[in-house]
Chain A
Amino acid sequence: MTIHGLWVISKAGGLVFSRSYSDVLPPQPVNTILTLAGILHGIHAITAKLTPTPIPGVTAGGLESFEAEGWGGKVFLTPTGTKFVVLHSLPQSGLDDLMKRIYEIYSDAVMKNPFHTPEMPINSALFETKLQTLMSGVNA
């Protein structure tokens, strides 16, 4: 499995972080990714509405993963509404663990940073180097 990229989307639907970790998918301008992240945020809400067998009293979950012909995406929603989107190659395995580790790194390097403003773009060298180590371990 190769990780192609990672996005972090804030609870309002804004893109706060995006990195590419392979050159399989063509590089995109930041504006395009910004738009796509917004679209994904909307899709997430609609997919929850289309649930064919909702359980009464339980809120239906939205989009969790999507697949194209050679690659896919996995969406991880944290309890606070932040979304992590990982673009990966198919077939995939161990993505859930990877998501948890990304979330861990995010909590350590971003949320515990007193100079970070929530809902604003992430500018943290620590976050980036930690992610880079994690991704190069997976992509190797």
Chain B
Amino acid sequence: MTIYSLYIFDRHCEPVYYQDWHRTRPVRAPPPTSFKPGVHRLPPSQPTDTSTAANGNVRESIFSDNRTSLISNGTTNSNNQKMSLPKGLPFDEEAKLVYGVILSLRNMVKKLSGRDEAFTSYSTSSYKLHLFETPTNYKFILLSDPSSDSLRFVLRQLYVGPFLEYVIRNPLVKVDSRVEGVDNDQFRSAVDRHMKGLSMFN
């Protein structure tokens, strides 16, 4: 059993917190234009092409990967490059996809059951996503491996434990802010400790 990542969204559909553990395709930091402080601690994206970097402030282009492979390997196809190095999405785009999926599934479940029923999890062949929604519309989302049982209790524990203690009761955290997340050292280490203490972490 493995835990991959944790997302917290607020009621404005904005990501306010992100942490990951065992991803083989790490998410990339978003471009500076859509950077929002206090959400994640991803290292800022490095230009992959050294020759571009030498030229100074050139914005990373979507073609830069292909160009590197073309320069280094002559007529190598880009397919080869993709296979050897699975590249992640930038964080802002990934967060939008995650939020879009849970919102659509939630609406679908609501419509099908005809009452205010929450969807709790979905799974694919390679991962399972668990959703826990608080009465204040914070959405806690956890990605784990597909064989795990329901992990909503873990999300609930995170909410009543570290989240209340270090975010809600912390006067320095700007709760309900659209320009800043809720990240702080205590919260991050408490979440980390909690996850690493779980039997399904690994």
Contacts and interface: CB of A to CB of B under 8 A. Distances in A.
Interface of A: 25-26, 28, 32, 36, 39-40, 42-43, 46-54, 56-57, 60-71, 87
B117 A69 contact: yes
Contacts of A61: 124-126
B5 interface: yes
B200 interface: no
B117 A42 contact: no
Dominant SS among interface residues on chain A? mixed
A4 to B, nearest CB: 9
B127 to A, nearest CB: 6
B118 A68 contact: yes
A65 B122 CA distance: 6
Interface of B: 4-5, 20, 22-25, 82-84, 86, 89, 94, 97-98, 100-101, 104-105, 107-109, 111-114, 117-127, 129, 143, 146, 150
B192 to A, nearest CB: 17
A22 B22 CA distance: 42
Contacts of A42: 104
A43 B24 contact: no
Contacts of B123: 63-66
B100 A68 contact: no
B92 to A, nearest CB: 14
A52 B26 CA distance: 8
Contacts of A52: 4-5, 20, 22-25, 126-127, 143
B108 A56 contact: no
Contacts of B126: 51-54, 60-61
Contacts of B118: 68-69
Contacts of A65: 122-123
A36 B111 contact: yes
A98 B200 CA distance: 30
Nearest to A49: B97
Given A39-B104, A51-B126, A66-B119, 4 more contacts: A46-B101, A61-B126, A67-B121, A67-B150
B4 A60 contact: no
A46 B124 contact: no
Nearest to B120: A67
Contact of A66 (B83, B105, B150): B105
